[in-house]
């Protein structure tokens, strides 16, 4: 696995030419993978799916977090590393919240026939049950198991809908969105999910990897300042970035984090992993978590 310490780009700074786009950091070229990635193994391999999604194979236990592999309603800069029809089997699929770039109903339907179980918050589970998925809902702090993996829901703050109320809209509570903490045979993985910065995020057990939904939008995500605080709270933990460099939307800040801004501000910046979609990362238990 190659650690890239700067983002590649295909767009330029806007100038007098009205057709030029604003600068937008772009992820490295997609590295497609196939059914072989789902086979039994002797380690835990993490792959970014693009968008906010991840695929993990831990000693043959396979699962996805927030997979979106088709059917999105905004233009994309990149190709997804695998199509749903190429996925042979999954022990679990997990959704952190109900936004369609995390809970992709189309993708979930296409994965349903090869997925043993779906997991999310109580609210998102109600949506999944309406779609006929074999799903389970959990409260923040709840723990559940699948295969060789234990998962726990962690707190997140992403109730952006309450700031833009529509007639008849439900009130979104803190427990409607979540992150996930995974314990695997090779160490722990924390996926905080989309969330405003929270002080609680600085006081987690030290994970062996963080799957970080990196956005410089501070209104409903961590923002750059919050991201730096979280990264520096766990100075030896590898951080794998997602939620950046994939959507063609230079004027829409939630998708436009630039890893170079983060790398310049964190302790031990070499642990910031700017992976290509589909590129494998092998999880290793940290020797020094101090």
pLDDT tens, residue order, the chain (290 aa):
433 333 333 332 333 344 566 789 999 999 999 999 999 999 999 999 999 999 999 999 999 999 999 889 999 999 999 999 999 999 999 999 999 999 999 999 999 999 999 999 999 999 999 999 999 999 999 999 999 999 999 999 999 999 999 999 999 998 999 999 999 999 999 999 999 999 999 999 999 999 999 999 888 999 999 999 999 999 999 999 999 999 998 888 888 899 999 999 999 999 999 999 999 999 999 987 65
Q: How far apart are CA 274 and CA 87, in angstroms?
A: 24
Sort strands 143-146 and 149-155 into parallel, antiparallel or unpaired. antiparallel
Helices (H), 55-137: 105-111, 122-130
Residue 223's CB: how many other CB atoms inside 10 A? 18
Residue with tokens 């831990």: 58
Q: Tell me the C-alpha to C-alpha distance, in Å, between residue 282 and each of 6, 57, 124, 145, 224.
A: 20, 10, 30, 21, 26
Sequence spans of domains, the chain: 43-164+172-282
Q: Compute the radius of gyration of the chain from its Cα atoms.
A: 18
Contact status, residue 189 vs residue 209, Cβ threshold 8 Å:
yes
Beta bridge partners of 178: 155
Residue with tokens 């799957």: 211
Q: Tell me the C-alpha to C-alpha distance, in Å, between residue 280 and each of 31, 46, 274.
A: 9, 6, 11
Please name the CATH architecture into which domain 43-164+172-282 falls: 4-Layer Sandwich (3.60)
Contacts of 193 (CB under 8 A, 6+ apart): 66, 96, 97, 102, 154, 156, 158, 177, 178, 179, 180, 213
Contacts of 222 (CB under 8 A, 6+ apart): 192, 195, 196, 197, 201, 213, 214, 215, 230
Q: How far apart are CA 206 and CA 202, in angstroms?
A: 10
């Amino acid at each position: 696995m190659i650690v890239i310490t700067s983002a590649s780009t295909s767009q330029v700074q806007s100038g007098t030419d009205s057709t030029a786009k604003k600068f937008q950091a772009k992820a490295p070229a997609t590295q497609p993978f196939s059914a072989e990635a789902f086979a039994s193994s002797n380690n835990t391999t993490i792959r970014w799916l693009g968008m906010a999604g991840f695929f993990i194979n831990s000693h043959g236990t396979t699962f996805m977090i927030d997979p979106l592999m088709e059917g999105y309603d905004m233009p994309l800069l990149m190709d997804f590393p695998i199509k749903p029809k190429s996925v042979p089997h999954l022990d679990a699929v997990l959704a952190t919240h109900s936004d369609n770039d995390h809970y992709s109903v189309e993708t979930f339907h296409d994965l349903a026939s090869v997925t043993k179980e779906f997991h999310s918050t109580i609210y998102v589970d109600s949506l999944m049950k309406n779609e006929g998925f074999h799903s389970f809902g959990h409260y923040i702090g709840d723990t559940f198991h699948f295969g060789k993996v234990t998962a726990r829901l962690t707190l997140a703050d992403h109730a952006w809908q309450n700031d833009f109320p529509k007639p008849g809209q439900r009130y979104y509570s803190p427990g409607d969105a979540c992150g996930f903490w995974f314990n695997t045979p090779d160490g722990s993985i924390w996926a905080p999910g989309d969330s405003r910065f929270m002080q609680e995020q600085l006081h987690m057990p030290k994970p062996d990897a963080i799957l970080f939904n990196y956005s410089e939008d501070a209104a409903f995500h961590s923002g750059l300042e919050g991201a730096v605080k979280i990264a520096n709270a766990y100075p030896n933990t590898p951080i794998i970035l997602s939620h950046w460099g994939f959507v063609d939307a230079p004027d829409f800040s939630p998708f436009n984090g630039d890893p170079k801004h983060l790398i310049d501000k964190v302790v031990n910046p070499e642990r910031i992993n700017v992976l290509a979609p589909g590129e494998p990362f092998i999880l290793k238990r940290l020797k020094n978590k101090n």
